[in-house]
Structure 1
Amino acid sequence: MHSDGNRKATIARHRVRLAACALLAAAAVLAGCERGSQIGAGESTGGPSGCPAVLAGAQAAVSRAEKKEVFWNGPTTGPAAAPGKTIVYVAQTMTNPGVAGAANGVREAARVIGWNVRVIDGGGTPAGIQAAMSQAVAVRPSGIVVGGFDPDSTSQQVSRADAAGIPLVGWHAVAAPGPSRRPELFTNVTTRVEDVAGISARWIIAHSHGRAGVVVITDASIPFARHKSDLIRKELATCSGVELLAYENIPIPDASSRTPQVIASLLSRFRSRWTHSVAINDLYFADAAAAFRAAGEKGSGPPFNIGAGDGDPSAFQRIDDRLYQAATVPEPLSQQGWQIVDEFNRAFSGRPASGYVAPVHITTAGNSDGATTWDPAGYREAYRRIWGK
């Protein structure tokens, strides 16, 4: 009887300890889920990583992409400047900061090489883009830039340009950089979408230590953007500790009106489960700020937001000020504008495309140094030497 009583007492004490441990564990989980808690790069949001091997690779890739000094590794030789050319830049919409930034780079480079540039804004609608392309072909320019839209959506105009011998250079026009046969482009200027999508997803994995609840925002009407967001989802899925909470399709022309409503709804649905966001364009986070602020969310996060593309000046400002954006994977927009002009110069001279593709980079408050753009150093000087300017 005495030994049986001791055994019962021991079992009772063990149960008390288990209950206490369970309460402590529950309290720790609840404390970790508080929206105001700060989660920095490399810190865990929920204990050990859910994907140790994937996490290690993500941390290494992010470390490389965050390096400050990136020097020009593009072309250093090519044809001298062809004289007296006129370029028409057809923009998907100039409200897209990436499209506008590349257009400004084209204007800057054209002044140096001695060409004329005209920008026609498609307004972000299929009818508007078709009308802009028709107008561009009608003025018989030396070349036309397909600025941020699918050339197949203007196939008749593309055929007329081809028949007239007008070369087309794309900016984010098709999924891959370089020449394209279908649709017919002399070349397409862009970073590799696989690289941009991959590094933005890896930043989330690294930043969350492999424990994240993620919202992905895209514009599925643009094949390039849809492909990018699909690749982001695929990379996020490599980490078992990352949960895709929502995949939101918001057309860029509707971003200012729809994004605040979507953000408010997501906050209501997911609350503290939502730790990170990735959007195919930084502009979504500009439009999201009011909804985050109205809900009482801290500008420094969570959720921690990364833009998988463009990197316009306002994105850099939000990152530096810690206002609802933590990082961006910026396109070197000015450099790409100069590259577009150089690619046309090669086309006019009967030379092949340069084949240059800019490397991916991640900008955060820790490495921006107050800058409002990112470009590899030395590209202007390199292109001037090539053109003899």
Structure 2
Amino acid sequence: MAGARPAAVALLLAATALAGCERGSSHLPGVSPTGPGGCPAAQAEARTAVSRAERGDVPWGGPTGGPAAVPGKTIVYVAQTMTNPGVAGVAQGVREAARVIGWNVRVIDGEGTPAGIQAALGEAVSLRPSGIVLGGFDPGSTSQQVARATAAHIPLVGWHAVASPGPSTDPPLFTNVTTDVDAVAGISARWVIARSHGNAGVVLFTDASIPFARHKSDLIAQGLAACSGVRLLANENIPIPDASSRTPREVSVLLSRFGSRWTHSVAINDLYFADAAPAFRAAGEKGSGPPFNIGAGDGDPSAFQRINSGQYQAATVPEPLTLQGWQILDEFNRAFSGRPASGYVAPVHVSTAGNSAGAMTWNPSGYREAYRKIWGG
């Protein structure tokens, strides 16, 4: 991949990426890297950051104190769609933690459509539970139902509901549980820079209908633009509910369009690579790459299976899904006790076949013991 890359083109590429995308695909012109290895300074910074994020010995850094369990509570988990492995993984963590703290949990599936999510949250409010989880959807799309919950004094805890972790006043969330989206996006881009030695042609997969996801993909594009030898070939907007039907077709088109220029991919959710695998396989692409694919969330078991077996995914930046389910219940317990949110944000991590040791999930160690001790279990 030789040739010159004028600075003006690089600036235009970065500005285009940050502008976001609308429904459909946004294809960006390919250009060639500049300088030895593309971007020596950015490479060095990326290698250091990725090495740190790949460490496996991550101790518990969350709360060690808090209120004892408040008995007899019922939580409703409203899922954006249970076909989203991250949403489903957190739901499983909530159920697991509920058995420990002694609460009841009900899951209502919004099935991935605005009408379905609105109906699911409306049903949740009508049940008058102790608390409601907004699992992976924008509260702005359910403003009437959120207002009803607030009027009924039902605490709301989000998971990937807004862009930042922690409490929110607009929308009114006791807290939002997520890793830091800037850190996740940044390490995903740095992984590409480090893995490619500063020379890459990248396809980015996102869902621009979800503000959280769109913000993440904008940040990833910004991070990639830090390296002059990395080209953003295409920014593919595929809504998550449509991923299974649209991704294989889009991947086939991308392979035909870019061929060997497509060396790496980043997706805001691992599920895109599950849906892309048949198209890669049909085109005769090796499971071990290229393209080398990294998911900037969510680190569900199927992603680990692809990574560990070398089947069309090389890495993931996993959400600690089970831990986050436990954290959600701990945050509710703080709300019921009149205490502030914990403020805990799980650390960013990169999982590969080389550091996962065959595991199918990633969570920092010690969280179960810590929460049991806090709750008095």
TM-score of the two chains, using structure 1 as the length reference: 0.88
Distance across 1 between alignment mates of 2:78 and 2:222 = 32
User: Is the counterpart of residue 263 in structure 1 residue 256 in structure 2?
Assistant: no
Quote the residue 1:215 is aligned against.
203
Quote the residue 1:294 is aligned against.
282
Quote the residue 2:44 is aligned against.
56
Shift of 1:46: 9.9
Distance across 1 between alignment mates of 2:217 and 2:315 = 17
Quote the residue 2:353 is aligned against.
365
Runs of 4 or more above 2 Å deviation: 45-48
1:70-81 alignment runs, 5 A limit: 70-81=58-69
SS at match of 2:43: helix
Distance across 1 between alignment mates of 2:157 and 2:34 = 47
SS at match of 1:169: strand
Aligned 8 A contact 1:46 1:211 in 2: no
Q: 2:129 aligns with which of 125, 138, 141?
A: 141
Quote the residue 1:383 is aligned against.
371
Distance across 1 between alignment mates of 2:79 and 2:346 = 21
Please identify the structure whose Cα radius of gyration is greater.
1
Quote the residue 2:184 is aligned against.
196
The one-letter code of the counterpart of 2:341 is A
Shift of 1:103: 0.4
Shift of 1:174: 0.1
The one-letter code of the counterpart of 1:50 is G
Shift of 1:48: 2.7
What does the per-residue CA deviation read over 1:304-334, in whole Å, with 9 as the maximum and x for residues that have no partner? 0000011000100100100000000000000
- Paired residues in the alignment total 347
User: Is the counterpart of residue 120 in structure 1 residue 108 in structure 2?
Assistant: yes
SS at match of 2:205: strand
What does the per-residue CA deviation read over 1:54-87, in whole Å, with 9 as the maximum and x for residues that have no partner? 1110000000000011010100000000000000
What does the per-residue CA deviation read over 1:331-369, in whole Å, with 9 as the maximum and x for residues that have no partner? 000000000000000000000000000000000111010
Quote the residue 2:96 is aligned against.
108
User: Is the counterpart of residue 273 in structure 1 residue 276 in structure 2?
Assistant: no
Quote the residue 2:20 is aligned against.
none
What does the per-residue CA deviation read over 1:208-260, in whole Å, with 9 as the maximum and x for residues that have no partner? 00000000000000000000000000000010000000000000000000000
SS at match of 1:203: helix
What does the per-residue CA deviation read over 1:12-57, in whole Å, with 9 as the maximum and x for residues that have no partner? xxxxxxxxxxxxx99xxxxxxxxxxxxxxxxxx9983111111110
1:334-349 alignment runs, 5 A limit: 334-349=322-337
Distance across 1 between alignment mates of 2:209 and 2:347 = 26
Seq. identity, %:
80
The one-letter code of the counterpart of 2:123 is Q
Aligned 8 A contact 2:133 2:158 in 1: yes
SS at match of 1:76: coil
The one-letter code of the counterpart of 2:47 is Q
SS at match of 2:235: strand
SS at match of 1:373: coil
Quote the residue 1:232 is aligned against.
220
User: Is the counterpart of residue 351 in structure 1 residue 339 in structure 2?
Assistant: yes
Distance across 1 between alignment mates of 2:86 and 2:364 = 17
The one-letter code of the counterpart of 1:341 is L
Aligned 8 A contact 2:34 2:228 in 1: no
Q: Which sections of structure 2, spanning at least 5 residues, go unmatched?
A: 4-32
Distance across 2 between alignment mates of 1:372 and 1:141 = 33
Aligned 8 A contact 1:318 1:324 in 2: yes
SS at match of 1:290: helix
The one-letter code of the counterpart of 2:319 is E
The one-letter code of the counterpart of 2:110 is G
Aligned 8 A contact 2:159 2:178 in 1: yes
User: Is the counterpart of residue 322 in structure 1 residue 310 in structure 2?
Assistant: yes
The one-letter code of the counterpart of 1:91 is A
